[in-house]
Amino acid sequence: MRRDLIHWVPDTHRRARQGAFTLIELLVVIAIIAILAALLLPGLSRAKQMALSTACLNNLKQLQLASLMYIHDHRDYLVQNDSVMYVNDTGNALGTDYTGVSWCAGDVRVQTNTSVIENGVLFPYNRSVGIYRCPADPSRVKLANGRSQPRIRSYNLSIWLNMQVSDGTGSYSKITEITDPGLSQCQAFVDTHEDTITDSTFGLYPTEMPNWGDQFIDMPADRHNNGCNLSFLDGHVEHFRWRAAKKGITAATQPLPPLQLQDLRKLQTTILSWKTLQERWADF
């Protein structure tokens, strides 16, 4: 037999063995992949959170633009906002709910279809039910079959904008009435915390109002990098970053911790002052 043929098989076997990974090499590769993943995942998570916040801001922008179109079509009257449910500090209903004409009626904690959105006065101006819900909202509604589905709404509208039921007396009816604060500082739609949202109105009282000025009534969300998104009556939207997380904070939390009080004061700059409210009460 020829000598070159005798060595042909062993040479191939030796080359194959030289091209394989050793256990040490494989462990090194796995370690490098793990390190890269550890470096990339926080960045990806932040990017995802930013994308969700941007989508939420876009929802609020669409709601606000629809609201401005409504105002234009109704001789400067603000969107009707008269669906109110009175609850205690634990979220249980108190007395009789008042459901008048509204941009969105009912208790979002139990609603399982979008008919309340579609029957609202705002829906003809933007027929997308998706803009009523923050994409980062984790809350769900239990169904009769034991399953659950995402809630249909995450946003509330300020009680100082055309809410004419009892404790809304003094609420602005027309956009031309609003001078305190100016339109670019006047709160409209608010991304509301999933633990406290019920009806579609956002309760918040002026700083110096006795008994109510030092507490949250409805709680703003904190799901966007410990912050909340809002729309304003001039049409723009903003992100408010909080100094303290809002979970567990209710109207019963008295007195508010210092950082929570700072957040409350920041939010109160977006509604009318106690002086203006007293003047409006005097006119009724």
At 35, the pLDDT band (50, 70, 90 cuts) reads confident
Cβ neighbours of residue 129 under 8 Å, at least 6 residues apart?
A: 114, 117, 118, 152
DSSP string, 127-158: --GGGGS-TT---EEE-TTS-EEE-S--EEEE
- How far from chain centre, in Å, is Cα 25? 48
Least confident range of 41-50, 139-148, 236-245, 269-278: 41-50
Mean pLDDT value across residues 119-140: 97
Mean pLDDT value across residues 33-46: 70
Phi, psi dihedral angles at 157 (to 5 degrees): -115, 135
Mean pLDDT value across residues 70-97: 79
- pLDDT of residue 1 exceeding 60: no
Q: What is the pLDDT of residue 29?
A: 78
Name which residue leads in pLDDT, 155 or 170.
Answer: 155
Q: What is the 3-state secondary structure (H, E, C) of 186-235?
A: CEEEEEECCCCCCCCEECCCCCCCCCCCCCCCCCECCCCCCEEEEEECCC
Least confident range of 31-35, 220-224, 239-243: 31-35
Least confident range of 39-43, 156-160, 175-179, 210-214: 39-43
Cβ neighbours of residue 148 under 8 Å, at least 6 residues apart?
A: 140, 141, 142
Average pLDDT, the chain: 87
Q: What is the value of pTM for the model shown? A: 0.82
pLDDT digit string, tens, across residues 188-221: 999 999 999 999 999 999 999 998 999 999 999 9
Q: What is the pLDDT of residue 93?
A: 55
Mean pLDDT value across residues 25-46: 73
Q: What is the pLDDT of residue 5?
A: 46
